[in-house]
Amino acid sequence: MNKKAYTYDGYTIEIEGSHYLNKSESTYFLQCQDEAYVTLPKFNFTVSRIVLEIYTPANALKNSVYVGNKVVVAAAAGAATCDFAIPEGNQSAGTIYKIHNTGGAVSRIKQIKIYGQPGSAKTPTSISFDGLMGEGITLTDGKTSSGEAFTGYQAVEKNSVPGKVSYETSGDRVAEVDASTGAVVVHANVYGTMTITATFQPEDKEKYASSTAQYTITNKRVGTYAFHESFDQCDGKEGWYGFAAKGEWDASKMDNVWKHTGTVYLGSGCIRIGPAHGSVTTPVIRVDGSAVLTFKAAMWETVNENPGVVVTISDGSLTYGDNAPAKKVSVTPVKAKWTDYEMVITGTGEFTLTFANNNNPKNNRFFLDEVTVTESAARTIALDEEKDNAIETEGKANVTLRRTLYDDGWNTLCLPFSLSEAQAKLAFGDGVELRELEKVEGTSLIFKAVTGLTAGVPCLIRPSRVAEDNTYTFSGVQTTVVTAGSRAKDAVGGVISFTGIYSPVDVTGWADSHKYVAFLGAGNKFFRALSGKPMKAFRAFFIVPETTSVAAVKAVIDGTTTAIGELNVDGDKTGGRVYNLNGQCVGTGLDGLQPGIYIRHGRKVIITK
């Protein structure tokens, strides 16, 4: 969004939204488009009035003064002079005021005048919450992301001005807050968002101004809504035609902070978009994994109405019915009758949703109600190195993985889900080491250290702890789609390929007549694979040009370059097979071999006759 600051005489204002400086004849003004915000600076005195001088105001223009997300005073539509008398409860020094332009018209501001109470100039104070990151905290069933109870943030005055802090709440009753200490007791089974406001009152009220700070507590659970808009406070006239649903847009009537463009009206417990082009956009919605969007829509009841409701997601994709996932989905509601819609949201953790009509110049009206985004419950998936594995859809899942790993050397690993550093340490020990292929230089494979695993990217892992039953569990991971027999994409590209599999398979079948498959064994060594022996799932391998001997392939890990040696792949010995120094298997016994040097069980064997 377009956001810019302007400074004059020591004061700075910020404009958020479409705007620009303009001039008509000898008059200069700040032109703010519909839905733009002007944020005023903090004043060290009590503000009693804010006056705007507007150049050639449109009849539909409506300017309002906000404190936070609440309208405290509004001007008459089309007023050339907007004289806002600030309510007494919102006059404190240090309060931040926002001027919001609504009504669908341009606001041309010539001058902003601020009036204070006589003798109200005071030294400003400032409070903040210790430990707060961002605007608030999100809990799941009353617990933090680490599973701990949340007890609240304490507000402190930054300049050590003597005084007291008090706390009050607004919004959903997800917690109880001690009014004097700010201590929080969360109701684990109450879901929604609460705002906690801390107010600092100085001991010397003649010298110092009071100040406030806020943070939010959002409590949710998997399977409950991440977003809900009821439109229940919208009080426009009901009906499907005529003068129905023509109440002027009023942001204070919404459960959430929406943005709107074009023609949007309030209905009775709903909103109406059209007849000209219009749209509404949700605030940012955050989910963990996949989610479901539901809403109600209906068409205006006239013969020629044909709006088509276009739903757009800012990130990720929407799936409606049997259609392919898409950024935009269009539906056509029934006239004068509500239709329930459901769409699946995937591929994103943070997004907005926009509901718009099409670009028809008229006959383009539809109603919207009950917009809800519900997080999908995590699935349970079992993956086994001995079996064919398939994951039909991407999304959040609790995964049980059976994979034999060894803690005395490197193992290859390729998973259809990502793991953070914390998740990797929890599963494989605090000392786990991970390496990804960074590049291929000739016949040298250069590996780099990483802290976590990326879905579909093969890697090397040296665990510091292995499960006795070879079973590992992962909660709330984001899985990718996997089909039985599929393999991961080549990690970096190059003369030598590095790829992984999710089901047992004879991987030599993936090497054409000019290539062969090689495995990485203990001590960073390579050996050539033989056909007829399936490789177990969740492992990785190399595809090497036939003109390159396995002895020439080098692995560079932490700066150490090594070649063929002990033939130990993921802890699996070669079963007595005998190899020459080119890495070629020449049999399973020593009898009948020509004199020379061979490798068996990782040791050199010399045949003299």
- pLDDT tier, 307 (very low <50, low <70, confident <90, very high otherwise): low
Tokens 């978009």 found at: 273
- pLDDT tier, 214 (very low <50, low <70, confident <90, very high otherwise): very high
Of 506 and 401, the structure prediction assigns the larger pLDDT to 401
The pLDDT score that the predictor gives to residue 9 is 63
57 has a pLDDT exceeding 50: yes
The pLDDT score that the predictor gives to residue 398 is 87
Cis preceding-peptide flag for 162 (omega within 30 of 0): no
- Specify the DSSP element, H or E, that contains 426: helix 421-428
> Which residues, including other chains, have CB under 8 Å from residue 134's CB and lie 6 or more apart?
none
Determine the longest span between alpha carbons in the chain, in angstroms. Answer: 112
The amino acid present at 221, given as its one-letter code, is: R
**Domains of the chain and CATH, by start:** 3-116 (2.60.120.260), 127-221 (2.60.40.10), 258-375 (2.60.120.260), 380-563 (no CATH), 574-609 (no CATH)
Helices (H) and strands (E) in the chain, counts: 1, 50
- pLDDT tier, 569 (very low <50, low <70, confident <90, very high otherwise): very low
What is the Cα–Cα distance from 172 to 471, expressed in whole angstroms? 42
The string of pLDDT tens digits covering residues 188-201 is 877 778 899 999 99
504 has a pLDDT exceeding 50: yes
What is the Cα–Cα distance from 77 to 66, expressed in whole angstroms? 16
Of 222 and 327, the structure prediction assigns the larger pLDDT to 327
Please count the other Cβ atoms lying within 10 Å of the Cβ belonging to residue 466.
Answer: 19
Q: Which long-range contacts (CB under 8 A, 24 or more apart) does 376-381 make?
A: 376/222, 376/223, 376/289, 376/290, 376/291, 376/292, 377/222, 377/223, 378/222, 378/289, 378/475, 378/476, 381/479
565 has a pLDDT exceeding 50: no
**Residue 476 burial (CB < 10 Å; 0-12/13-18/19+)?**
middle
What is the Cα–Cα distance from 16 to 39, expressed in whole angstroms? 8
What is the Cα–Cα distance from 581 to 204, expressed in whole angstroms? 88
What is the Cα–Cα distance from 27 to 8, expressed in whole angstroms? 17
The backbone torsions φ and ψ at residue 424, rounded to the nearest 5 degrees and listed phi first, read -65, -45
List residues bridging with 64 in a β-sheet. 74, 100
The pLDDT score that the predictor gives to residue 414 is 94
What is the Cα–Cα distance from 39 to 12, expressed in whole angstroms? 9
Per-chain mean pLDDT for the chain = 83
CA 436 remoteness from chain centre: 25
- 3-state SS track over 551-570: HHCEEEECCEEECCCCCEEC
What is the Cα–Cα distance from 55 to 504, expressed in whole angstroms? 74
- pLDDT tier, 571 (very low <50, low <70, confident <90, very high otherwise): very low
353 has a pLDDT exceeding 90: yes
Residue 507 three-state SS: helix
> Which residues, including other chains, have CB under 8 Å from residue 427's CB and lie 6 or more apart?
419, 472, 473, 474
The string of pLDDT tens digits covering residues 391-420 is 876 667 889 999 999 887 788 999 999 998
- CB 458, CB 437: distance < 8 Å: yes
The string of pLDDT tens digits covering residues 130-168 is 888 778 898 887 888 777 899 999 999 988 999 999 999
- CB 299, CB 365: distance < 8 Å: yes
> Which residues, including other chains, have CB under 8 Å from residue 210's CB and lie 6 or more apart?
92, 93, 94, 125, 199, 200, 201, 202
The amino acid present at 443, given as its one-letter code, is: T
The backbone torsions φ and ψ at residue 500, rounded to the nearest 5 degrees and listed phi first, read -130, 170
- CB 492, CB 467: distance < 8 Å: no
> Which residues, including other chains, have CB under 8 Å from residue 136's CB and lie 6 or more apart?
193, 215, 216, 217, 218
**Residue 37 CB-half CA count within 13 A:** 19
What is the Cα–Cα distance from 175 to 219, expressed in whole angstroms? 9
387 has a pLDDT exceeding 90: yes
563 has a pLDDT exceeding 70: no
Residue 320 three-state SS: coil
Query: DSSP character for 453?
Result: B
Of 203 and 489, the structure prediction assigns the larger pLDDT to 203
What is the Cα–Cα distance from 32 to 82, expressed in whole angstroms? 15
The pLDDT score that the predictor gives to residue 503 is 93
Task: Write out the E strands in 232-385.
Answer: 259-266, 271-281, 285-286, 291-299, 309-313, 317-319, 328-331, 339-346, 350-351, 353-356, 366-375, 379-384
> Which residues, including other chains, have CB under 8 Å from residue 397's CB and lie 6 or more apart?
289, 378, 379, 380, 381, 391, 417, 476, 477, 478, 479
The pLDDT score that the predictor gives to residue 525 is 65
Tokens 């810019």 found at: 4
- Reported pTM: 0.44
**Residue 119 burial (CB < 10 Å; 0-12/13-18/19+)?**
exposed
What is the Cα–Cα distance from 198 to 180, expressed in whole angstroms? 10
- 3-state SS track over 28-40: EEEEECCCCEEEC
